[in-house]
Structure formats: C-alpha cells, structure tokens
Amino acid sequence: MISCRQLTRKFGDFTAVDGISLDVAPGTICAVLGPNGAGKSTTVGMLTGLLAPTSGEAIVCGVNVAHDPVAVKRKIGVLPEDLGLFDDLTVDEHLELTGDLYGLDAATTRSRIDRLLAALGLTKGRRTFARACSHGMRKKTAFAMALLPNPEALFLDEPFEAVDPVTAATMASILRDAASRGVTVFLTSHILPMAARIADRFVIIRSGRIALNAEAAALDRPLEELYFDLAEAPVLDRLEWLGQTE
C-alpha cells in the first residue's frame, strides 16, 4: 500500500531524509516517531506529493507519487503539519470543499459531514471561520477533511497534538476501525503512549535515517525506553535559579 525505496530529500547541503526504505501493508497503522527535525514531516511530504524527493521512489496505493501526484491525492487523505486550512472558509465549508473536489454527491457529502462533526464534537462550531477556531478545532477540521472522501490511505502528521483526551480517544477509535477495514494509516506522533496504543508498526527516525522499523508485537522493551535509546535521551540539566530567592 505504501512503499518507498531510498527516499532522500536534501535542502541545500542539509539532508533531511537520507535513503529511507519501508513498506506498509494495507490495514496497518504505522507510527513514525522521532525528535523534532528528524525528517518525519519531510517523509510524509514526499509520500503525499507535497515535496519532490531529491532521489528515490515512493509508491502509494499502487501509484508512483512522482509520476501522477493527482491520482495519488484522489486516493489518500492527509492531515498536514500546518493543517492547510483557509482563513476565509468555515469548518463546514472546508468539508463541503473536500466533498466537491473528491466528486462526492451533495447528499453523501452532507451526511458524512454531519457524522464527522458529531463524532469530533464540532457540530456547534461548524459555522466558525477557520481563522477564529481554536487550534484544537482546526486540527479536528483538518482531520475530518482527511476522512471525508473515504481514502485508501491516511497520512496524519501529529494528529493527537492539541486535541482533548476525549477527541483523541475518538480519533484513535476511528483510525483503528478504518484500519480494520483495510485503510492504511501512516502517522507521526510525539505522544508515545497514544502511538503505543494504536499502532501495529513503529518506525523511529533519527537524523533522516531509520533507527527502528518493527512490528508492535516484536518490540522487546516498552516503546518509551526504546525511543530514548534509539531517537534521543532527555537532557537532564538542573536550572539552578528555579526556587531560589533573588
């Protein structure tokens, strides 16, 4: 479903992603983990056609991303890092736009919008312009946009960040349900407990390279422990001025 070989992206002299190769089978939830700047979002960008790779190849839903990006976009749903919302459209209008552009008929679009808004607790704010939405509302809107066209694969960049626990649980449940019906989910996250709860496969990226690519069942240690070992360990520096009387 998602496959890439030697995927590399350079920005000038800086190599953000360095020869990543991986395969994600249909119906799998693959969590890509790593510190800030490790190359997670760049990888998502290349797999979704947002960024052209410097070298390497990506095949998503059977389509070569570089050869036919529009065909790939018709098959996938994406929650981008910056959410990709327009200030001048309301929550409702963003979803209508998605339905229109993915060729859904009006009745189907309306029914799916109602269901998504109810599930994500957005019904009350549906007529709010994106520029007036809270970050959480914006995140949920972008998430709903990714789900609305019934995609074969979902690419979600930090889906659980800045959403309340109930919504996070709802999102996790929606993703698990979608995966059980064959939708492939490729997500990045810094929230390790949530990733550990829903993912079938973990990929840890450090400095643009894969440090771990394993099925959840094959992990021999807790995810957090592995992460600190393979990605980066926390810096334990004492800020001596805290708590002192000046």
Partner 1 sequence: MAGANRVTGTARVRAILKWLARAAKRNRKTFSFRGNNIFYTAIALMFMLDPALAGILIVIMGVIVLLPMSSDPLRAIPPSRNGLWPLEAGERRLLRFLSPFLNPMTWLVLGLAIWKRVSWGLVAFAGGTVLTGFFLSARSPGRGNFWRLLPRFPSPLNQMIRKNLREMLSTLDFVTGVLIAVAAAGWRAAGMLPKEAFFPFTFVAMLAISTCALSLFGLDGAPGLRRYSLLPVRGWQVLLAKDVAFIAIALLIALPLYIPGALAAALIALAVGHRASIQQMTPQHRWRFQTGPSFGDAITQIVTMTMAGAAVAYSSALFLTPCVAIWAISVWWFGREFDRR
Question: For residue 167, what is the enclosing H or E element?
Answer: helix 165-180
Which of residues 11 and 228 has its CB atom nearest to partner 1 in the complex? 11
CA nearest neighbour of 24 among 230, 223, 216, 197: 216
CA–chain centroid gap for 23, Å, is 16
Q: Name the E strands within the chain.
A: 2-11, 14-24, 29-33, 55-60, 63-64, 76-79, 153-157, 184-188, 201-206, 209-215
Which residue from 61, 97, 162, 172 is in contact with partner 1, where contact means CB under 8 A? Answer: 97
Segment lying near partner 1 (by CB under 8 A), choices 29-37, 97-105, 166-174, 221-229: 97-105
Residue 50 as a binder of partner 1 (CB under 8 A): the answer is yes
Cα–Cα distance for residue pair 240/225, rounded to 1 Å:
27
Residue 101, interface with partner 1 (CB under 8 A)? yes
Piece in contact with partner 1 (CB under 8 A), picked from 31-39, 89-97, 158-166, 168-176? 89-97
- Regarding 129 and contact with partner 1 (CB under 8 A), the answer is yes
**Is the Cβ of residue 98 or residue 167 nearer to partner 1 in the bound state?**
98
Q: Which of 61, 66, 89, 172 binds partner 1 (CB under 8 A)?
A: 89
Closest CA to 148 of 167, 176, 120: 120
Please say which residue, 103 or 193, places its beta carbon nearer to partner 1. Answer: 103
- Taking the complex as a whole, how short is the minimal distance between the CB of residue 64 and partner 1, in angstroms? 16
Per-residue tokens: 229: 């070992």
3-state secondary structure of 44: helix
Q: How far apart are CB 57 and partner 1 at their closest, in Å?
A: 19
Contacts of 2 (CB under 8 A, 6+ apart): 22, 23, 24, 30, 47, 58, 59, 60, 61, 153, 184, 186
Q: Which of residues 130-189 bind partner 1 (CB under 8 A)?
A: 131-132
Report d(CA 108, CA 99) in Å as an integer. 8
Exactly one of 5, 10, 54, 74 binds partner 1 (CB under 8 A); that residue is: 74
240 is a contact residue toward partner 1 (CB under 8 A): no
Which range touches partner 1 (CB under 8 A), out of 2-10, 124-132, 183-191, 224-232?
124-132
Chain position carrying tokens 């094959």: 218
Residues at the site binding partner 1, with contacts judged by CB under 8 A:
48-50, 70, 73-74, 78, 80, 82-90, 93-94, 96-98, 100-103, 127-129, 131-132, 245-246
